[in-house]
């Protein structure tokens, strides 16, 4: 296996590069000396997420919808396919676009990688496991997904993308890898995107009740975005096909997360329980044995530290507005 330190990239294409995780990837790649073309149609991402990169040598912003064939002028040796609505609020609002990005978009991003002879990384998701009956979830678990439920447009788009990437590697020999990302949080998440961390922080800073779904006993495993990006880049530097779980194996209930956010913000907010969404997973926790063994990767940022950093970003942004 190639070691991460031995494989360097000259030019990376990041689809969905103006999104939450994508924008952090663009920054990390530029910081390590890799030129970056950020491709985004801004259906959920925003130019503001990469505004700090404008003018940096090697950075290019290309507005394009990856469901249509697209090209980049400069030869690329890495393609990271991160384009897709990722929060329930977004993929429920854009169901067909989500399915097309996972299918047509994956095809077009793979075609770009094949033309350039580039390493290809697909951003898949822990949602591939659905409401899991195996706990924690390892990569050999096939999942428990409702194919026609409200979340299926995202779950099945990602599962199809995994199948397409695996077939592409087998038939055409494309140098491809698949990462299954578990819940990631950090700066640049939109306060109204529907995910727990930004929702709770926004509500706590506004002094509003924190809306916890169901009884709050459902669990998630939260990885700070810097840790997730390190894992993605370690996968890119390897020659693994995967899939490989990238996530934090420390679980937290949604009720405990809400209470932690209230404590860290110093808010006087209370908790209000609301109806739990259909097909909302009861548990979510990655088995990261493969990532630890093959990528020498594991998360380093404790939840209290990562949440404090994220809260600070929200406060600074509010002060600047």
* Catalytic (active-site) positions: 154
* Strand duo 251-253 + 219-221: pairing: antiparallel
- Residue 160's Cα: distance from chain center in Å? 17
CB 19 within 8 A of CB 40: yes
Q: What is the DSSP string of 156-189?
A: HHHHHHHHHHHHHHHHH---EEEEEE--EE-TT-
Q: Round to whole Å and give the CA distance between 108 and 114.
A: 10
**12 contacts: CB under 8 Å, gap ≥ 6:** 29, 34, 35, 36, 37, 76, 77, 78, 79, 80
**223 contacts: CB under 8 Å, gap ≥ 6:** 181, 182, 183, 184, 185, 246, 247, 248, 299, 301
Task: Tell me how crowded residue 321 is: count the other CB atoms within 10 A of its CB.
Answer: 5
Q: Round to whole Å and give the CA distance between 161 and 152.
A: 13
- Residue 72's Cα: distance from chain center in Å? 23
Sign of CA dihedral 295, 102, 282, 305: positive
| Residue found under tokens 């109204």 | 192
| Residue found under tokens 């991160």 | 82
Tell me the C-alpha to C-alpha distance, in Å, between residue 200 and each of 123, 151, 255, 288, 298.
Answer: 25, 21, 11, 27, 26
179 has which bridge partners?
123, 244
């Amino acid at each position: 296996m190639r070691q991460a330190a031995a494989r360097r990239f000259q030019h990376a294409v990041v689809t969905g590069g103006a999104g939450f995780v994508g924008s952090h990837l663009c920054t990390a790649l530029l910081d390590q000396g890799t030129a970056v073309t950020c491709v985004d149609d801004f259906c959920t991402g925003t130019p503001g997420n990469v505004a700090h990169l404008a003018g940096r040598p090697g950075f290019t912003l290309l507005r394009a919808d990856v469901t249509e064939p697209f090209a980049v002028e400069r030869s690329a040796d890495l393609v990271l396919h991160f384009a897709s609505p990722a929060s329930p609020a977004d993929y429920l609002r854009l169901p067909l676009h989500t399915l097309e990005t996972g299918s047509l978009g994956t095809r077009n991003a793979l075609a770009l990688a094949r033309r350039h002879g580039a390493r290809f990384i697909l951003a898949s998701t822990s949602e591939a496991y659905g409401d899991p009956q195996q706990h924690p979830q390892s990569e050999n678990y096939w999942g428990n997904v409702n194919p026609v439920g409200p979340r299926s447009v995202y779950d099945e788009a990602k599962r199809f993308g995994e199948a397409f990437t695996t077939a592409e590697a087998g038939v055409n020999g494309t140098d491809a890898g698949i990462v299954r990302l578990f819940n990631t949080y950090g700066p640049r998440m939109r306060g109204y995107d529907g995910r727990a961390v930004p929702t709770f922080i926004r509500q706590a800073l506004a002094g509003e009740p924190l809306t916890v779904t169901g009884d709050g006993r459902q669990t998630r495993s939260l990885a700070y975005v810097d840790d997730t990006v390190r894992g993605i880049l370690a996968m890119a530097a390897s020659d693994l096909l995967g899939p490989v779980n990238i996530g934090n194996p420390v679980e937290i209930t949604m009720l405990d997360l809400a209470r932690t956010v209230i404590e860290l913000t110093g808010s006087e907010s209370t908790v209000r329980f609301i109806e739990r969404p259909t097909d909302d997973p009861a548990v979510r926790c990655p088995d990261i044995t493969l990532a630890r063994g093959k990528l020498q990767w594991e998360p380093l940022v404790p939840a209290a530290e990562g949440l404090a950093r994220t809260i600070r970003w929200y406060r600074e942004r509010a002060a600047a507005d």
